[in-house]
Chain A
Amino acid sequence: MSWTLSPEMRDRFDKIVARYPEGRSQSAVIPLLHLVQEASGGSLTEAQQRAVAEYLGIPMSKVHEVTTFYSMYSLKPRGRRHLLVCRTLPCALCGCAAVSAAVRERLGVAEGEVTPDGAFSWEEVECLNHCDLGPVLQVGEEVYGGLDAAKVSALIETWSKEER
């Protein structure tokens, strides 16, 4: 399945590339991939990676290196809300195991899987550096701290209502 760059997306691409010196457009690969991923429900297809490679005039392998190296890109489908649960030591000391367990139980899917309605997916991630608020969960731009199983349940309940 192919994917074409819309004129509007191409315009946004051009503005980002202009931030870098002449001949250094490869620098734009990370922000461009973020743009495409966000516009496409949170994951990237091979066709989209190829389109970015073609736009930048670099080999597909250079784009694929980037999408497989950095943890924020997903090459598998994600839910409309993708929950990031921090598991690193400061959050662990504050009880993040209970947060992960609550997420797993309430969503009913394992890490990396999407709920049947496409609403949610989740994964444990390394330190999000909101250790003053541990344990922490991030969805999109929103960071939720001081969590326990009950608070996680309440959040998922609220989001589920919004989905309906």
Chain B
Amino acid sequence: MRPSPKFLSRNFENPAALRLEGYVASGGTQGLRKALGMNPQEIIDLVKAANLRGRGGAGFPAAMKWGFLGKTQGPKYLCVNADEGEPATVKDGPLMERDPHQLLEGIAIACRALDIHQAYIYIRGEFRTAIARVESAVQEWYAAGHLGKGGGGLFGSGFALEVAVHPGAGAYICGEETGLLSSLEGKKGFPKLKPPFPALKGLYGAPTIVNNVETLSCVPHILTLGADAWNALGTEKNGGTKMYNVCGHVLKPGCRELPHDVTLRELIFEVGGGLAPGRSLKAVVPGGSSSPVLLPHEIDVRMDFDSVAKAGSMLGSAGVIVMDDRTSMVRALDNLLHFYSHESCGQCTPCREGTRWLYRISQRIVAGEGKVGDLDRMLDICGNMVGNTICVLADAAAMPTESYIRKFRGEFEAYIRGGKRLGLLDGAAIEAVSHA
């Protein structure tokens, strides 16, 4: 495993960087100053050459999304998706709490490249510290004249930009870009049908780019390092370093920046400190709770978007959940189905009814009252949800359901046959039940 370079996380132990002068002293704003001397298309071409993949979960090439932005004489918007909500994901919170100016620099460069003059940072409401620190950083940029009117624009360039922080109020669905936009407009966070995509018709119906916090935080480094050096930190078509959070049954959980070619095995056993003594690996989710589960023989996969997709899962938000042999996969799935059924916004019947139905069946199984046809019924429900909804929360519920049942079918059947209620960490008890 290569040594861990520090670009996005370089100020994580440097509280002085919370103030603009400390951020500048640490090397910050050089990327923005360079961008201000380039023409906008040059900036977009650089980000394209750097193979920056969107880090919100989809891994869609950022420069390609930027290229879709509609041309208009009217207002255009940049909305920063800071609604980090995918279970197991920890990166945007630390990025905002420990280096808010880095995010602002990325926002400023993106706005300069896209000729956008108003940005909103939508931060989930529970992130009280992140909201306070980003708000404070924004105020410093206004005080220094870089934002707002009459201050000479960004670093005296004359480029006018307004940035405002907007809090969420508790809804996972507002991490979906169109749900976020509905919420920003002051409504329930209902996603909207795509097409039209936000790039053409977004906030208030105007052309809008929605980018993740980590994606934008990469941009200053792409400017200062250049595309080649940034690509060298990653893999083909997946440039740069990446923030990964390893959690669950590991000895050293945490969010760390690593080169994009780290393997899942390295994340679990080296970076994450491995399992507790006497425990063995049972299952691991690579990219946040919505990603399909992987088995112990599948962990030699490079943690970039394309490699994990080839392995049958997704890098998603790079939230790695490690489950050791104590884990009951039946209870683990039940936990997630509670989550998805609660977080469904309710707009689409297949998701609203499907997630709740899945949870009710799961609860019956968990209580020891499962029936033989339950598993196939759950798979059938998933089949009717996916592709039939406005957004992919339905898919996010279906992917764990399908992969846990498919890869641990024997365990689910044994649990049903056993007719007993077991705990989340009573996974080993299943063996006894199935041999009884």
Chain A interface residues toward B at CB < 8 A: 19-21, 24, 26-31, 33-34, 58, 62, 65-66, 69-73, 84, 87-90, 92-94, 97, 125-134, 138, 140-141, 143
Please, how many angstroms separate the alpha-carbon atoms of A71 and B132 in the complex? Answer: 20
Q: Residues of A contacting B184 with CB < 8 Å?
A: 27
Within 8 A of A (CB), among B126-174: 126-129, 132, 164, 166-172
In the bound complex, do residue B248 and residue A126 qualify as a contact, i.e. CB atoms below 8 Å apart?
Answer: no
The reply to whether A90 and B88 contact each other, CB–CB distance below 8 Å, is: yes
Cβ contact of B253, chosen from A89, A126, A132, cutoff 8 A:
A132
Query: In chain A, what residue has the closest Cβ to B322?
Result: A93
Within 8 Å by CB of B126, from A19, A31, A73, A128, lies A128
User: Which residue of A34, A70, A90, A126 is within 8 Å of B342 (Cβ)?
Assistant: A126
Closest 4 CB pairs of A and B: A71-B170, A70-B169, A26-B186, A72-B170
Q: Decide if B188 touches A69 in the complex (CB within 8 Å).
A: yes
Indicate if the CB atoms of B188 and A31 lie closer than 8 Å: no
B184 smallest CB distance to A (angstroms)? 6
Residue contacts A-B, CB under 8 angstroms, 10 given: A20-B164, A27-B166, A70-B169, A89-B88, A93-B247, A93-B424, A126-B172, A126-B343, A130-B93, A133-B253
- Asked whether B126 lies within 8 Å of A72 as measured between CB atoms, the reply is yes
A141 and B129 contacting across the interface, CB-CB below 8 Å: yes
How many angstroms from the CA of A13 to the CA of B164 in the assembled complex?
15
Closest to B183 in A: A30
B186 touches A28 (CB 8 A): yes
Smallest CB separation, B314 vs chain A (Å) = 17
B186 with A70: CB separation less than 8 A: no
Cβ contact within 8 Å between B85 and A127: yes
| B contact residues, range | 35 or more
Contact status A90-B247, CB under 8 Å: yes
Q: Which residues of A contact B183 (CB under 8 A)?
A: 30
Task: Tell me whether A134 and B321 are in contact in the complex, defined as CB-CB below 8 angstroms, given that A70-B169, A88-B87, A90-B247 are known contacts.
Answer: no
- Give bound CA distance, A129 to B86, whole Å: 7
Query: When each residue 319-351 of chain B gets 1 if its CB lies under 8 Å from chain A and 0 otherwise, what string results?
Result: 101010001000010011011001101000000
Given contacts A66-B188, A88-B289, A90-B247, contact A129 B125 (CB under 8 A): no
Compute how far the CA of A66 lies from the CA of B164 in the bound complex, rounded to whole angstroms: 21
Q: Does B300 contact A (CB under 8 A)?
A: no
Residue with the greatest number of chain B CB neighbours at <10 A, chosen from A58, A70, A73:
A70
Contact across chains for B169 and A72 when beta carbons are under 8 A apart: yes
The answer on a CB contact under 8 Å between B186 and A131 is no
Q: Judge whether B310 is part of the interface by a CB distance below 8 angstroms.
A: no
Considering residues A29, A92, A140, which has the most beta carbons from chain B within 10 angstroms of its beta carbon?
A92
In this assembly, does B90 line the interface, its C-beta being within 8 Å of a C-beta of chain A? yes
Provide the residues of chain B in CB contact with A29, threshold 8 Å. Answer: 186
- Nearest residue, chain A, Cβ from B340: A126
* A132–B255 touching, CB < 8 Å: yes
Given contacts A126-B342, A132-B253, A132-B255, contact A70 B424 (CB under 8 A): no
Determine whether the beta carbon of A88 is less than 8 Å from that of B126: no
Task: Report the Cα distance A76→B259, complex, angstroms.
Answer: 48
Q: How far is the CB of A150 from chain B (nearest CB, A)?
A: 19
Partner of B90, one of A69, A97, A132, A138: A132
In the assembly, what is the distance between CA of A33 and CA of B170, in Å? 13
At the interface, yes or no: B185 with Cβ under 8 Å from chain A? yes
Question: CA of A129 to CA of B89 in the docked complex: distance in angstroms?
Answer: 6
- CB-CB < 8 A to A21: which residues of B? 75, 118, 204
In whole angstroms, what is the CA distance A22 to B253 when docked?
A: 46
Q: Is A89 touching B125 in the complex (CB atoms < 8 A)? A: no
Nearest chain B residue, comparing its CB with the CB of A34:
B167
Q: A84–B89 Cα gap in the complex (Å)?
A: 18
Interface centre among B170, B172, B343 (most CB of A within 10 A): B170
Given that A34-B169, A132-B247 are known contacts, is A65 also in contact with B187, CB under 8 Å in the complex? yes
Known: A30-B183, A34-B169, A66-B187. A93 touches B125 (CB 8 A): no
- Is there an interface contact between A127 and B339, defined as CB atoms closer than 8 Å? yes
Give B233-254 as 1s and 0s: 1 = Cβ < 8 Å from A's Cβ atoms: 0000000000001011100011
**Contact (Cβ within 8 A) B247 A134:** yes
Q: Is the CB of A30 within 8 A of B248?
A: no
Judged by a CB distance under 8 angstroms, whether B402 is at the interface is no
Q: In the bound complex, do residue A30 and residue B167 qualify as a contact, i.e. CB atoms below 8 Å apart?
A: yes
Given A88-B87, A132-B90, 17 further pairs, Cβ under 8 A: A21-B204, A24-B185, A24-B186, A34-B125, A88-B289, A89-B88, A125-B170, A126-B87, A126-B343, A128-B126, A129-B87, A129-B124, A131-B253, A132-B253, A132-B254, A141-B129, A143-B129
Contacts of A89 in B (CB 8 A): 87-88, 248, 289, 321, 332, 335-336, 339
In whole Å, how far is B364's beta carbon from the nearest beta carbon of chain A? 19
Contacts of B338 in A (CB 8 A): 87
B37-71, CB under 8 A of A: which get 1 and which 0? 00000000000000000000000000000000000
Q: Is B176 an interface residue (CB 8 A)?
A: no
Across the interface, A130 reaches (CB within 8 A) one of B90, B332, B423, namely B90
Please name all residues of chain A whose beta carbon is closer than 8 Å to the beta carbon of B87 when the two chains form the complex: 88-90, 126-127, 129, 131
Of B84, B86, B255, B338, most A-chain CB atoms within 10 Å = B338
